[in-house]
Amino acid sequence: MLDIKFVRQNPELVKANIEKKFRHSKLGLVDEVLSLDSEYRAVLAEAESIRARRNSGSKEIGRLFAQKKAEEANALKAEIASLGGRLDALSVREKELAEEVKSRMMQIPNIIDESVPIGKDDSENVENERFGEAWVPDFEIPYHADIMESFAGIDLEAARKTSGNGFYYLTGDIARLHSAVLTYARDFMIDKGFTYCVPPFMIRSNVVTGVMSFAEMDNMMYKIEGEDLYLIGTSEHSMIGRYIDTILKPEQLPQTMTSYSPCFRKEVGAHGIEERGVYRVHQFEKQEMIVICEPSESMEWYNKLWSYTVELFRSLEIPVRTLECCSGDLADLKVKSCDVEAWSPRQQKYSEVGSCSTLGDAQARRLGIRIKGKDGTYFAHTLNNTVVAPPRMLIAFLENHYQPDGSVTIPPVLQPYMGGKELLVPKGSNQ
């Protein structure tokens, strides 16, 4: 959410930013906000004038009574009393206007960074850099669900019976690999100096609206019926919400955390939930990284965060690239974002495995996360990035380590988490 003072002073800039994000339907919000804000300030001024008149009048009444001028005192007393009704009406209107301004302000997109490429949607995202060789196999790599099934590692049919499409059972070596990747990612981030956290997996509505836009909320979140609770779509929601109405000292920053959680997503608007695969699902697990920092340090942290994900994937011998998200692909609260995509040797293309974003002070302003510096109090900046998110990450892992004989190699960094195994062998194999 933007600062109302910024909108007052820069309405055309705010409108130009909305156009850059191709949210043309939101252009009218700026004029609506300015009109409502003008009325709001007029109401405040009138209310303040009445309060001042009541205060001065009360003193004057006492002076008149002291001077034995009862008739004048009573007349003034009646005048002051008559102001009460107007003040009550103004107080009601003040609250109404404050809510109307806030509801519209929360829909106006955040100002994007100057470096963000302009484009309508994800088809116009821009490749930044590649890391590792995007190799093309001279043998066939099966579909990821078939690889998993060869290890007796996945049961989609049973999951459809218990839960429907978009769910899965992982078993045996595949389930162990899933956990190993998460545990390795946790330790990787701890070694980077991040504090490990396991947050609540449900949050209240005021936290949800503090960390994301209404459109994202409707498309992603599952609500618990009869309660003011939502299942989290990512641990970022819970982790940023932890700091609601918090005032931090500069010496407490940056707050760097890596959090584990299951994630639950409706995937509204997705191109269908696959019946056989696990690329797009309703439930998955993720290791996340979150930073709360000084505004002056947010871009430096942004570059650190995505580079950590690249480093982790390369340590697992998976080629990746970074993709700069264009303006039209940025959610309303985001200032700048890039995706990390892993190479798929089966499809011979890159697929998203994580996303890094800086949101400026948008989340902090909504949730009241402030810093008390020597020159006053100001809002913090928040950032988030995916470390790993199985099972999507498992697809990239299995394809890039699949061998012609159907086995899957385990890179050295992951072997300690797999009981020392260097190779996974399909069920029924003679290896």
d(CA 104, CA 20): 19
Which pair of tokens denotes residue 136?
A: 């093309």
> Nearest CA to 365 among 380, 354, 349?
380
One-letter amino acid of 175: A
One-letter amino acid of 9: Q
Question: Domain-by-domain residue ranges, the chain?
Answer: 4-105, 122-424
Give the pLDDT score at 430.
61
Give the pLDDT score at 268.
57
The DSSP line for 301-331 is HHHHHHHHHHHHHHHTT--EEEEEPPGGGS-
Place of tokens 């490749």: 127
Q: 269-275 long-range CB contacts below 8 Å, 24 or more apart?
A: 269/219, 273/165, 273/166, 274/165, 275/156, 275/160, 275/165
Q: Tens place of pLDDT for every residue, the chain, 431 residues? A: 899 999 999 999 999 999 999 999 999 999 999 999 999 999 999 998 888 877 777 777 777 777 877 777 777 777 777 777 888 889 999 999 999 999 999 999 999 999 999 999 999 999 999 999 999 999 999 999 999 999 999 999 999 999 998 899 999 999 999 999 999 999 999 999 999 999 999 999 999 999 988 778 878 899 999 999 999 999 999 999 999 999 999 999 999 999 999 999 987 555 555 557 888 899 999 999 999 999 999 999 999 999 999 999 999 999 999 999 999 999 999 999 999 999 999 999 999 999 999 999 999 999 999 999 999 999 999 999 999 999 899 999 999 999 999 999 999 999 999 999 999 999 866 65
In CATH terms, are 4-105 and 122-424 the same topology? Answer: no
Helix 27-66 × helix 70-105 angle, to 10°: 160
d(CA 357, CA 329): 12
User: What is the CATH number assigned to the segment(s) 122-424?
Assistant: 3.30.930.10
Give the pLDDT score at 116.
98
Give the pLDDT score at 62.
77
For domain 4-105, give the fold. Helix Hairpins (1.10.287)
| Distance in Å from the first CA to the final CA of the chain | 58
Residue 164 backbone zone (phi > 0: left; psi -120 to 50: alpha; other: beta): left
Could you tell me the CA-to-CA distances from 31 to 26, 38, 100, 225 in Å, in that order?
10, 10, 13, 37
> Nearest CA to 188 among 314, 302, 301?
314
Q: Tell me the backbone φ, ψ of residue 148, rounded to 5 degrees.
A: -60, -40
Place of tokens 């900046």: 381
Burial 73-93 (b: 16+ CB within 10 A, else e): beebbeebeebeeeeeebeeb
The DSSP line for 161-228 is HHT-TT--EE-HHHHHHHHHHHHHHHHHHHHTTPEEE---SEE-HHHHHHHS-HHHHHHHPEEPTTSS
Give the pLDDT score at 431.
59
List all residues 6 or more positions away from 136 whose beta carbon is below 8 Å from its beta carbon: 345, 348
Give the pLDDT score at 54.
74
Could you tell me the CA-to-CA distances from 99 to 28, 85, 102, 131, 409 in Å, in that order?
17, 22, 5, 48, 57
Which pair of tokens denotes residue 427?
A: 């069920």
Give the pLDDT score at 245.
97
Cα dihedral 374, 376, 379, 383 in deg (nearest 10): -10
d(CA 316, CA 92): 60
d(CA 185, CA 404): 28
